[in-house]
Amino acid sequence: MLSRTALIYLSRHEGLKDFAARFSLFKRLTTRFVAGENIDEAIAAIRELNHEGCSASFDHLNESVANAAEADEEVKEYLQILRQIDETGINSNVSIKLTQFGLELDPELAYKNARAVVAEAASRGNFCRVDMEASAVTQKTIDIFKRLRAEFELNDVGIVLQSYLRRTYADAEALVKLPARIRICKGAYNEPAEVAFPDKKDVDENYVRVMQLLLASGTYHGIATHDPKMIDATIEFSEREGIPKEAFEFQMLYGIRRDLQRQLAKDGYNMRVYVPYGKHWYPYFMRRLAERPANIWFVLKNTLKG
């Protein structure tokens, strides 16, 4: 069985996608986690989610662009998404990655590009979430987010923190003081033990600590997880502290634990589904397999069944 580390390693070698994508089987595997290759397919998926009582967040898949022109194309794509959200009336915000806007080429370029998208979202009364990527860019991502947050309102732009990072509790304490809207997740990259807890138990404990800090802060945050233990801890804490259901939202990824997504929405919780789409689905897809290598067999089994 391929390990998590091996799958994350493979996720960074997009050249393999061209090889893998020749097999229609592999292509079909991706449709479980990726809503399609273009905006219209993603909109159709979001309409269905809205119908089930869930809101959404668009994610155009294209990490680590190679040059400024590609980053500019990403900005255009997001401006188009924001326009189409308004035109179609779907319930969705957007999530961006700063490497998609050129962070690895020039942080100033990434800031300007992200600023253009946040400004558009703000002018439309929508919201832009800055995703968190590998630890090599954590500080740069927080620095750019703080500049954006200084220029825009609380409900215009938010950030993500990962409970596997040792630094995250301190980051959460500092960011809630701004205040800032935070999505807490466990973290999806391969990180060394110096920066991230190697044991799942510590990642989960830290998740619960950060979740409690966020919920107690009085700001509207996102609790992103498919883990029933984290969800139960959130519900238990909010009920104990008298925090109303409308004061936060649960978030999950497209195609993962749909049963739980529907159940939480039915129980009156705000439920947002992160909807990735685009041609560059390979690294995202491989990270999802890495989270649960058993998915390879699940998908293969279902694909073979036809």
Ligand X SMILES: Cc1cc2nc3c(=O)[nH]c(=O)nc-3n(C[C@H](O)[C@H](O)[C@H](O)COP(=O)(O)OP(=O)(O)OC[C@H]3O[C@@H](n4cnc5c(N)ncnc54)[C@H](O)[C@@H]3O)c2cc1C
> Is residue 286 a contact point for ligand X (CB under 6 A)?
no
Q: What is the rounded CA–CA span in Å between residue 1 and residue 6? A: 10
172-211 binders of ligand X (CB under 6 A): 185-189
> Is residue 275 a contact point for ligand X (CB under 6 A)?
no
Contact status, residue 162 vs residue 168, Cβ threshold 8 Å: yes
What is the DSSP secondary-structure string of 217-280? TTS-EEEE---HHHHHHHHHHHHHHT--GGGEEEEEETTSSHHHHHHHHHTT-EEEEEEEESS-
> Is residue 60 a contact point for ligand X (CB under 6 A)?
no
Interface stretch with ligand X, choices 8-16, 210-218, 232-240, 253-261 (CB under 6 A): 253-261
Q: What is the rounded CA–CA span in Å between residue 111 and residue 101? A: 8
Packing angle of the helix pair 138-151, 107-123 (nearest 10 deg) = 40
59 a catalytic residue:
no
Name which position in 226, 245, 258, 262 contacts ligand X (CB under 6 A): 226
Q: What is the rounded CA–CA span in Å between residue 12 and residue 92? A: 29
Q: Which residues pair with 56 in a beta bridge?
A: 92, 273
Q: Is 181 helix (H, G, I), strand (E, B) or coil?
A: strand
Task: Tell me whether residue 238 or residue 251 sits nearer to ligand X (CB atom).
Answer: 251
Name which position in 120, 131, 191, 249 contacts ligand X (CB under 6 A): 131
Name which position in 78, 283, 295, 299 contacts ligand X (CB under 6 A): 295
Token pair for 301: 């089994």
Q: Least CB distance from residue 275 to ligand X, whole Å?
A: 10
> Is residue 253 a contact point for ligand X (CB under 6 A)?
yes
Interface stretch with ligand X, choices 14-22, 35-43, 72-80, 218-226 (CB under 6 A): 218-226
> Token match 């439309």: residue?
124
Name which position in 117, 118, 121, 160 contacts ligand X (CB under 6 A): 160
Choose the catalytic residue: 59, 129, 131, 287.
131
Task: Tell me whether residue 81 or residue 252 sits nearer to ligand X (CB atom).
Answer: 252
> Is residue 265 a contact point for ligand X (CB under 6 A)?
no
227 a catalytic residue:
no
Q: Least CB distance from residue 164 to ligand X, whole Å?
A: 8
> What Cα–Cα distance (Å) separates residue 140 from each residue in 103, 111, 135, 162?
8, 10, 10, 15
Q: Least CB distance from residue 280 to ligand X, whole Å?
A: 16
Contacts to ligand X by CB under 6 A: 131-132, 160, 162, 185-189, 224-227, 230, 251-253, 256-257, 274, 288, 291-292, 295
Catalytic residue numbers, as ranges: 131, 183
